[in-house]
Amino acid sequence: MNYKRLKEAEERFLGQYPGGFQNPKMIAVAKRHRVNQLSDYTREQFRPRNFRDTEAILESMVTIVSRSSMISVFEKPAFKNCICNLTPKEKNKFAGALKKRLHGDKETGFHELLEILLSVRLAKWSIISVWPAYFNLLDDAFVKPTTTKNIIAQFGLSDLTYQPLPSWSFYKDYLAALICMRDSVDITLAPSNPAFTGFLMMAMNPDYA
């Protein structure tokens, strides 16, 4: 990690937005993305007992994808269509994979989600990482391809090699690097992992907000 570059980004950002994400301008940005509201919804809908109702789980998965500002407008309808076309057996497997990812063996759940997404040609980082990112705001991360590649390049994460096909090994290492960076900056820049990656994105592109 290029610690000096990270601290320079922190200084610039706090100079422009004193108080970090408590700055009124940043509060307005956060309202547009509704991260906390979607997190509350995700945690409520994906309680362990709710996984007894596969159709409800899949409906919630579609809702989160459709409401998320982190998912592209092209991926939203594609995911909804893919859910509609799954067989009952595939639906049960998909819901079960998400339960493992959130409440059980995270690695196994990741691989099982990936297997189904591969079969419907939607094995994208944005899709596979979105539900955990909202469910665990501090312990999981959303992987947006362009932003992730830029973070790796701009902040000297030389041990990481981004690949477009999702893999648990990359995700685990990227998350560890992200948490290390998050813990190195002022807490007002990192109330959650989505907020922290938002800070990094804006630090790389000051006109973003």
Cβ-based neighbours of 41, under 8 Å, separated by 6 or more: 60, 63, 64, 134
Torsion of Cα atoms, 60 then 122 then 138 then 183, to 10°: -160
Residue 153: Cβ within 10 Å count: 13
* Average pLDDT of the residues in 187-202: 91
Model confidence at 106: pLDDT above 90? yes
> What is the reported pLDDT for 95?
97
CA torsion through residues 117, 123, 124, 129, sign: positive
pTM, rounded to two decimals: 0.91
d(CA 52, CA 56): 9
> What is the reported pLDDT for 207?
54
Residues 10-36 pLDDT 10s: 998 999 899 999 999 988 888 888 899
Cα first-last separation, the chain: 25
Domain ranges of the chain: 3-33+140-204, 37-135
Quick one: which of 49, 194, 78, 199 has its CA closest to 134? 194
Residues 47-56 pLDDT 10s: 999 999 999 9
Model confidence at 206: pLDDT above 60? no
- Residues above pLDDT 90, as percent of the chain: 81
> What is the reported pLDDT for 208?
47
Model confidence at 209: pLDDT above 60? no
* Average pLDDT of the residues in 127-155: 94
Cβ-based neighbours of 145, under 8 Å, separated by 6 or more: 125, 126, 162, 164
* Average pLDDT of the residues in 88-100: 97
pLDDT top residue among 122 and 33: 122
Residues 44-87 pLDDT 10s: 999 999 999 999 999 999 999 999 998 999 999 999 999 999 99
| CA separation, residue 30 to residues 33, 45, 125 (Å) | 5, 22, 22
**Residue 128 identity:** I
d(CA 7, CA 165): 31
pLDDT band at residue 158 using 50, 70 and 90 as cut-offs? confident
